[in-house]
Chains A and B, each alone.
Chain A
Amino acid sequence: MTPFEEELRKALARCEPADDFTERVLRQTVNREAPASKRWLASNWFASHWFASNVFWRVVPVAALLVVLFSAAFGYREHVRRVHGEAAKEQLLMAIHIAGVQLHDAQMRVKSIEKSEAVKQ
């Protein structure tokens, strides 16, 4: 056995930990402060279970898709309403224009009759 092999055998030999090893490890774990998010998760049973569950990661894309779909539907509805509203406005202005012109024409005809009657008299 070469000196190198002898060193390797010693290094890999089974070695029992010190008696207070477990106690020291546990003490270190308690002393080390957890990050805020982990503390919140730890304090909130529902959140910790919810985020950890597979359901959460299935629900999130569906919810996001629903939000997008609802936004698109709302946007389309608003677009249709705007188109209809602008068309209604144009129709209304045209109707008012025609009504005004027709009333004016009627007045002009009445006036011309009144004038011709006055001339006859």
Chain B
Amino acid sequence: MKILLGLVMASGLLTHAWGASDDIKFPVSFDKLGERATESVDVALDASMLQLAKSFLSNEDQEEVQVKKLISKLKGVYVRSFTFDKDGQYSMADVEALKSQLKPPAWSRIVGVTSTKGENTGIFLHKEGNSIAGLVVIAAEPRELTVVHIDGPINPEELSELGGHMGIPRLDKSISGKKPKEEE
């Protein structure tokens, strides 16, 4: 009985520690990566925080108006990014723990780039019917690991419109519809 209780409590703690998003849980190991990283970014904005942030966005600044439009229906925005000063500070198991949650039929990989240089990039879409209900970008480089999870209906064209602003390079409007590419 005590063991069962312990397991239930441990699973509760684990679920809590794996992040705030309903669908995608950041592995616990990501917290330890932050200690080894020279730079780390941890953004966790749920629906209420997004609404709060939205109320502080300007109605006059064109960029902020676009961001407002982009996030209007979102349920959450989560970013974890780590920069290391040397290679091998994270294992691919950390990345795989995340990727294992992005399985069909709910999720589909639209872009997958794996290079011999150790660069591994994937863009995953969560589709509900014809609309996109979520987007995950995983960019794993030898000295950098970035995961972006945009939870909720998102229009890639609206995101691409931000290209050329806010320090974002210009984006093609054809994010979706590409078949995964593999480079060996």
Partners in one complex: yes
User: What is the interface of chain A, defined by CB distance below 8 A to chain B?
Assistant: 81-82, 84-86, 88-89, 91-107, 109-110, 113-114
Q: Closest A residue to B58 by CB, please name it.
A: A89
Q: In whole angstroms, how far apart are the Cα atoms of A113 and B135 in the complex?
A: 23
Interface residues in B, total, Cβ within 8 A: 44
Chain A residue at minimum C-beta to C-beta distance from B160: A103
A92-B45, A101-B167, A113-B113 as given contacts; A106 in contact with B123, CB under 8 Å: yes
Cβ < 8 Å to A, chain B residues 27-82: 41, 43, 45, 49-50, 52-53, 55-57, 67, 70-71, 77-79, 81
Residue ranges of B at the interface with A (Cβ–Cβ < 8 Å): 41, 43, 45, 49-50, 52-53, 55-57, 67, 70-71, 77-79, 81, 111, 113, 115, 119, 121, 123, 135, 137, 139, 146, 148, 150, 159-160, 162-163, 166-172, 175, 178, 181, 183
Chain B residues with CB under 8 Å of A101's CB are: 167-169
User: A interface, by DSSP: helix, strand, loop or mixed?
Assistant: helix
Residues of B contacting A105 with CB < 8 Å?
A: 121, 139
Q: Decide if A97 touches B56 in the complex (CB within 8 Å).
A: no
Shortest Cβ distance from residue A52 to the other chain B in the assembled complex, whole angstroms: 50
With A93-B67, A96-B67, A96-B162 known to touch, is A102 a contact of B137 (CB < 8 Å)? yes
